[in-house]
Amino acid sequence: MKPRILQYVRVVPHLEQALAQRYDVKLLPEEANPHAWLQAHGHEFVGLVTSAKFGVPNKVLEQLPALKVISSFGVGFETFDLDYARLRGLQIGYTPDVLNECVADTAFGLLIDVARQFSAADRFVRAGRWTRETYPMTTKVSRKRLGIVGLGRIGRVIARRASGFDMEIRYHNRTPLTDVPFVYEPQLLDLARWCDFLMVISAGGPATRHLISAEVMQALGPQGYLINVSRGSVVDEAALVQALEQGVIAGAALDVYADEPNVPPALMPLDNVVLLPHMASATHETRKAMADCVLTNLEGFFRTGQVPVAVPL
């Protein structure tokens, strides 16, 4: 018999098709009353598929007494209660590394866009303004100072991209790293004061909520730019709106928001902010690799009892 798998949220179509071919899958969003349905059938499931964006709440896990493995589509795991998973003996698979390059590409594309104002200049041309106005000067990227908040897997790839632009790099982590050549800044405010571009690629969750505060933006200053490709919760959005409106910082470029897909309306009319719809890993190649990793994690567990790429618990 095929293992019984609960699909907690919708995922990319080719992953759903592959799951249906290999397992006995129930798509929970199809149920009008998921809670009642799980009360009757939750004991049937040994595996669960979800995404990093949604995770799975404990109230759902409590209705799955036979659950052994969770395979998550994505790299973050702040939407999971890891303490609860540890107590239950659950293994959680996730999909790091395969999205590093595309997220880094997007991060650096945002950096260039906000400095050289490509998106704003595109709007300028489309509005027919070029025939009667000259677009204002923008900011050079090469040989500038890049501060990276969170020099993990993706942060390191961003640093490699920056090296091609001859940028000087410093970073802030909870602890310094011994295998990188960059200067470690133990205080985030000092990093913000030093850099021209502050790149945020830290983990999400309560520990980093509003890490990028009004005080950090003040330290970044009126010539500095903020780029966020981590989680929306890491940046204090109200403080960011105020900083952009008042010229506290020069500009910002965002792929993530605190209440996706709801973007703060006050950001919409501002030309000194670039807004993307959380698309950093959204390429055909990367999403296929992520889907393959979800499948590999499930297959590895059912074959050996161990998830090959597991969240550390």
Write the pLDDT tens digit of every residue in 127-138: 999 999 999 999
Active site residue 278: yes
Q: What percent of the chain has pLDDT over 90?
A: 99
Contacts of residue 165, defined as CB under 8 A and 6 or more positions apart, other chains included, come to 141, 142, 143, 144
Tokens of 201: 């690629």
Q: What pLDDT is stored for residue 145 in this prediction?
A: 98
Catalytic residue among 231, 245, 284, 303: 231
**Closest residue by Cα to residue 148 from 220, 213, 199, 203:** 199
At 51, which helix (H) or strand (E)?
A: strand 47-51
Q: Is the dihedral of CA 137, 143, 148, 154 positive or negative?
A: positive
Of residues 278, 284, 287, 303, which has the active-site annotation? 278
CATH number of 100-275, picked from 3.90.1640.10, 1.10.357.10, 3.30.70.100, 3.40.50.720: 3.40.50.720
pLDDT confidence of residue 214 = 98
User: For position 202, what pLDDT does the model report?
Assistant: 96
Distance CA 121, CA 288 (A): 33
* Per-residue pLDDT tens digits for 176-205: 999 999 999 999 999 999 999 999 999 999
Catalytic residue among 30, 31, 260, 285: 260
CATH topology match: 4-96+285-304 vs 100-275 = yes
Quick one: how far is CA 246 from the chain centroid? 27
Q: Angle at the Cα of 276 (from 273 to 281), degrees rounded to 5?
A: 140
Place of tokens 């204002």: 136
- Note whether 181 and 209 are within 8 A (CB): no
pTM: 0.93
Of the candidate ranges 74-78, 178-182, 211-215, 227-231, the one whose mean pLDDT is the lowest? 74-78
Residues 166-176 have pLDDT tens digits of 999 999 999 99
Q: Is the pLDDT of residue 16 over 90?
A: yes
pLDDT in tens, 65-87: 999 999 999 998 999 999 999 99
pLDDT at 172: 98
Kindly list the domain boundaries of the chain, sorted by start residue.
Answer: 4-96+285-304, 100-275
**Average pLDDT taken over every residue of the chain:** 97
Instruction: List, for residues 233-269, the tens digit of each pLDDT value.
Output: 999 999 999 999 999 999 999 999 999 999 999 999 9
Q: Give the span between the Cα atoms of 231 and 209, in whole angstroms.
A: 9
What six digits make up the tokens of 40? 């009757």
What pLDDT score was predicted for residue 76? 87
143 is catalytic: no
- Angle CA(84)–CA(313)–CA(67) in degrees, nearest 5? 50
Q: What is the pLDDT, as a whole number, of residue 134?
A: 98
E-only strand ranges, 190-298: 197-200, 225-228, 251-254, 273-275
CA distance 178 to 200: 21
Q: Is 161 a catalytic residue?
A: no
The mean per-residue pLDDT over the stretch 24-47 comes to 97
- Say if domain 4-96+285-304 classifies as CATH 3.40.50.720: yes
Q: What is the mean pLDDT of residues 269-281?
A: 97
